[in-house]
Structure 1
Amino acid sequence: MPHHIVHNPALKANLLLDTRSALGEGAIWNDEDQKLYWVDIEAQLLHCFDPLTSINQTAHFEQKISTVVPSTDGTLLLALKDGVYSYEKSTGLLCNLLSNPENHTSGNRFNDGKCDPSGRLWLGTMGASNSAALYRIDADLSIHMTEAGVTTSNGIAWSEDNKTMYYIDTSTHKVVAYNYNDKTGQISDPYDAIIIPEEMGKPDGCTLDAEGMIWIALWGGYAAGRWNPKTGTLLGKVEVPAKNVTSCAFGGENLDTLYITTARTSASEEELLQCPYSGGLFTVKPGVKGIQANHFVKRTK
């Protein structure tokens, strides 16, 4: 299939919601209720946007929230600063499932997370000087450290054949690819799939499209880029009128809309004057479709 967006320099994201988020993050499309979920980490908010009604609902929590993923039992799994919680959207009931293994020692917090094809939750932490890690949370809620020495754990994605996992530690400017065993959840043989040039910004959240290409939000880069993870080649870019672009996810009925979150934090007053909608939620129709997000599969007794 031709990568027909490659030479389109005019691909620009449009503002959808002017939320002025301090740190918008973690966009994910839930195919069950056809809504987009995302968070504002600093403001401790969970957002839920319904494209049919254009209504954005918001829930506030007592601590920072960094990840939201749908669960097969109809709840949402949330990563808050001190642990992983189950959240009943209709009642607002919050139930602690698992403590953050690093919170007591370092003040590290959970950051980005996604579910693998078998429904395990992969969740990373962030902290100073390589004190963070990447964890895998299985159906029985057991937690396994899979990578140590991480600084800012961010985007995670899986190839459609379930044989490769892509992972971003933002400070390294790289996307690392692993051989991935879907039966066991083991990762092995890491290699550098994509190197992001410093002048493009730092890689943050990511998502795969139906052609197997990886879209990466670029912190400090005013853009989201599309790369071929097999060759490391940049195929195209979506310009975003905000300096710090944080995550992206395909959504909409046909999974053909790319939703992009941004942040106001770490932008100067001058940059915010130039880009007043920084922190907003943006969209673009890039001409390719995404793939459905995986849900967390809880083990039933």
Structure 2
Amino acid sequence: MAVEVAISTIKNLLGEGPHWDDQEQKLLFVDILANKVYKWDPVTDQLDSVTLDDTVGAVVPCKKGGYLVGLGRTVAHLDWHSQKVTKLQEIPLNGTKNRFNDAKCDPAGRFWTGSMGHQISTNPNLFEPEKGELYCYGTDGTIKMWVDKVGISNGLVWTQDHRTMYYIDTVPEQVYGFDYNINTGAISNRRVVIDYKNYDDDDCMGRPDGMTSDVDGNLWIANWGFGKIICFDPKTGKKLRTVQIPAMRTTSCCFGGKNLDELYVTCASQGATEEELAAYPMTGSIFKVTGLGVKGLPADVYKG
């Protein structure tokens, strides 16, 4: 196994939302606080970007062209070439300065995106409590709220049999499982499948952030605060392996590359002290992990 910096020309404030575009063979990701959407070609090492007018929580390709983004509190369509942004749906303020965070499409092509409350201090770990929600933006253009009182809405994964959705709320440090109906998009029967508080205190794991899954159905979770990607069996909660990343503020990950056997990891530099930056000079980088011996699955796109 090897861990290396994938893109040497960028240091993100809050890198997030990696998505391997299987059609273009490029890596998409965002820098939430820089309001940027990035597209990187690993063959040519060309890095392109579009700067938007608000925070951008995630980016997902649309089957009909362009991209869906979580722009501030709106679901919006981005035309990459013209840089035209069309706002499609906006969520209510909910008594806070909330914004969208992580997002993914389900196997039917719906866009699931969650929100979080406003940061309430200079500490990047402190946010308004339980002001986030989880929404589904359907292929028909309607939006519906499915989960409320969320701390920080994060990782999403669906099983290959389309029967289960996994979802992370970073604040209680839990991964939830839901029964999932691919025909209607309905979720039900919420339960905790991984609770970070149940693991030994001497194995510092950080806080669960974004995640992806492999062909065996295991979850690969990026952990904020301790520079780790941890692989779990969601059926048992067992930790299967840990990948150490040379940056403490890991935010999310996805499988990519021609064979979907490379793990790309996003990180943040926001809030890092001078001591942390000296110890981890590649803080905020995009990393690539190879030689894991596992593969991921093609990422779903929006089909509306």
Given the two structures, how large is their TM-score scaled by the length of structure 2? 0.92
- One-letter amino acid matched to 2:186: Q
In the TM superposition, what is the alpha-carbon distance from 1:100 to its structure 2 partner? 2.7
- Counterpart secondary structure, 2:277: helix
How big is the alpha-carbon RMSD for the aligned residues of Structure 1 and Structure 2? Answer: 1.2
Which 4+ runs in 1 deviate beyond 6 A? none
- For 1:241, the equivalent position in structure 2 comes to 246
Unaligned 5+ residue runs, structure 2? Answer: 118-127
In the TM superposition, what is the alpha-carbon distance from 1:12 to its structure 2 partner? 4.9
Cα deviation per residue 1:195-221 (whole Å; 9 max; x = unaligned)?
Answer: 224621000000011111000000002
Q: Which moved more, 1:117-126 or 1:92-101?
A: 92-101
- Counterpart secondary structure, 1:149: strand
How many residues are paired up?
A: 287
Cα deviation per residue 1:122-166 (whole Å; 9 max; x = unaligned)?
Answer: 110001110111011111111111001101000000001110000
- One-letter amino acid matched to 1:190: R
- One-letter amino acid matched to 2:231: R
Given the two structures, how large is their TM-score scaled by the length of structure 1? 0.93
Aligned equivalents of 1:161, 1:48: Cα separation in 2: 30
Pair 1:125-2:131 in alignment:
no
Cα deviation per residue 1:172-202 (whole Å; 9 max; x = unaligned)?
Answer: 1111011111111111111111122462100
Unaligned 5+ residue runs, structure 1? Answer: 1-10
- One-letter amino acid matched to 1:263: A
Asked if 2 retains the 8 angstrom alpha-carbon contact of 1:81 and 1:100, the reply is no
1:51-200 paired onto structure 2 within 5 Å: 51-102=42-93, 105-127=95-117, 128-196=128-196, 197=199, 199-200=204-205
In the TM superposition, what is the alpha-carbon distance from 1:288 to its structure 2 partner? 0.5
- For 1:206, the equivalent position in structure 2 comes to 211
In the TM superposition, what is the alpha-carbon distance from 1:13 to its structure 2 partner? 2.2
Aligned equivalents of 1:282, 1:24: Cα separation in 2: 11
Aligned equivalents of 1:158, 1:220: Cα separation in 2: 26
**Identity within the alignment, %:** 40
- For 1:30, the equivalent position in structure 2 comes to 21
Asked if 2 retains the 8 angstrom alpha-carbon contact of 1:201 and 1:218, the reply is yes
Q: Structure 1 12/244 Cα, relative in aligned 2: closer, same or farther at 3 Å? A: farther
- One-letter amino acid matched to 2:140: D
- One-letter amino acid matched to 1:287: G
